[in-house]
Structure 1
Amino acid sequence: MHDAHYHYSKEINALQNEYDISGICNVANEKEFELVQQKQLFYSCGVHPWNASLDTFESMLPLLKKAPIIGEIGMDSVWCDVDLKIQKEVFEKQLQLAQALNKPVILHTKGQEKTILELIRKYPNTYVVHWYGCMDYVKEYDEVVSYFTIGPSIGKEEEVTHLVKQISMDKLLMESDGIEAVKWAIDSDDYMAALKNEITMVASLKNQSYSEVESILDHNFSKLIKK
């Protein structure tokens, strides 16, 4: 089992160790970078749109260069009020860096799906769309990105269920997005229940067995991190 995008907590770390779960821990600042180094966790690093500023980008640049994966990065006009011009500039700088360094990218697309689609077409790369929550542009994204993570709200949010129906199994990954996201998505902080529910729901939507789906999703994750 894997968790392709999560924000660190002691609870998640303990459960991943107990159940041998591979994951990509999100790093958004120097403190989180030091933590993943200490814990020896596989990670991604990026300037999140909520924190977007040119100063933040410059201060994070040394960490971005060290990270195996760039992210989560993108734009957001739903859950934050950071100037979209600044968000776009910081986002594009990170896309350029990731392409130059040949590093995969994890995308945050909330409310800015069309703009982000236009930008990533300019910078071909290995893209992972994190918890896509839009009914539009699914086909267009499918043409240019490598993977989509399944938000833990599958079965609750129509957009996530719609995504899984439209995307082939070889492009799907699992994610929790962290304990707070799990609480929001399933009204519980049961991390393992959230991951298992994703497999169960995908198995039902794709008419495959639980074990088949788990194996395929884990294979997809292994391919991503080997990049």
Structure 2
Amino acid sequence: MADNQNTEDLMKHCYENLIVIDVGANLTNKKYSRDLDSVMQRAKDAGVQKIMVPGTSVKSSKEALRLSRIYPDIIYSTAGIHPHDSKSIVEEPETWFDFEAIAQAPECVAIGPCGLDYQRDFSEPDVQKEIFEKQLRLACSLNKPVLIHERSAQDDVLEILKKYPNISHVVIRGFMGTTEEALKYLDMGYHISLTGYLCKDKSDTGVRKLLEDGTLPLDKLLVETDSPFMYPNTRASKLPQHVKTGITERSLLYLHRYCTFQRNEPCSLPAIVEMIASFMKKTPDEVALATAFTALKLFGLSQ
């Protein structure tokens, strides 16, 4: 765990620069295989202090752990079996023991993303549920937080999570649902992470409304880029003008010079934070400070 003095030092530093923590960048993706050092340097220069790299299979969880050892105290890994990949554990049950070993590593700070995805049928719902619960039991035994992936499956996800009240913290990753769905999660005390998806959200009941109405408390919010996905298109026609003008030139420079729809990077996170701040009618410093503090506290990231 970060001790209080280190945490306070980091927080003071946040007032000088917009310092943010990316709680989800898929840096094991092959799109970064040639220039990861440059990607990491740009993230650091942009103010991204720490990056959590999620594992979504046994293989990528192992690779995420490897990256955390190449970039110690900057990259932290998670160990997850994504719902889409659930059937692989059923087909090769011996791989679960490898997964447990990865999850136990101190650099691995959370279990997941795990959960249910009914939008696509890569794995049968019953198989998804079985492997989801297996990961929740592991999270309880290791006392590690859980990252939840949920698409069109909220009722079942909530029903299963209620069976595991001992989980230390639950984070709903890359939330893309409605305000009503968000409230169900918030009522359970869960945290919600947001991505550049808010540039795409055109609904009257979704992520933007959640921020504009103050429905999502700042201390329940985390931020992530979901790189290389979820490029924050700040030129989107539906993005309100006050949000566009709330993005600093410095953040736009990193975003437009280094990120594309084909490959987003962690250096886009300050722009996402500034957009969230505009929607919430708060300063970027407030959002950066609160989300960084929450990430440090929740995942025990050392400073």
Q: TM-score, normalised by structure 1?
A: 0.88
Decide which structure has the larger Cα Rg and report it.
2
Amino acid at match of 1:97: L
Aligned-pair identity (%):
22
> Which residue in the other structure is 2:208 paired with?
161
Higher mean C-alpha deviation, range 118-127 or range 168-177:
118-127
Amino acid at match of 1:162: K
> Which residue in the other structure is 2:43 paired with?
16
> Which residue in the other structure is 1:137 paired with?
181
Amino acid at match of 2:207: V
Aligned counterparts of 1:32 and 1:208: Cα–Cα separation in 2: 34
Amino acid at match of 1:205: F
Aligned counterparts of 2:97 and 2:209: Cα–Cα separation in 1: 38
Shift of 1:167: 0.9
> Which residue in the other structure is 2:13 paired with?
none
Question: Aligned Cα RMSD in Å?
Answer: 2.5
Aligned counterparts of 2:112 and 2:100: Cα–Cα separation in 1: 12
Q: TM-score, normalised by structure 2?
A: 0.67
Higher relative contact order (CA 8 A, sep 6+): 2
Shift of 1:217: 1.8
Q: How many residues align?
A: 227
Aligned counterparts of 1:32 and 1:173: Cα–Cα separation in 2: 20
* Unaligned 5+ runs, structure 2: 1-19, 237-259
**Secondary structure, in 3 states, of the residue corresponding to 1:75?**
strand
* Unaligned 5+ runs, structure 1: none
For the pair 1:3 / 2:22, whether they are aligned, the reply is yes
Amino acid at match of 2:21: H
> Are the structure 2 counterparts of residues 20 and 208 from structure 1 closer, same or farther at C-alpha, using a change threshold of 3 Å?
closer
Higher mean C-alpha deviation, range 33-42 or range 167-176:
33-42
> Which residue in the other structure is 1:86 paired with?
127
> Which residue in the other structure is 2:226 paired with?
177
- 1:73–1:91 CA contact under 8 A, matched in 2: yes
Paired residues for 1:45-194 under 5 Å: 45-52=79-86, 53-54=89-90, 55=93, 56-66=95-105, 67-124=108-165, 125=167, 126-135=169-178, 136-157=180-201, 158=203, 159-164=206-211, 165=213, 166-182=215-231, 188=261, 189=263, 191=265, 194=268
Aligned counterparts of 1:33 and 1:197: Cα–Cα separation in 2: 27
**Secondary structure, in 3 states, of the residue corresponding to 1:70?**
strand
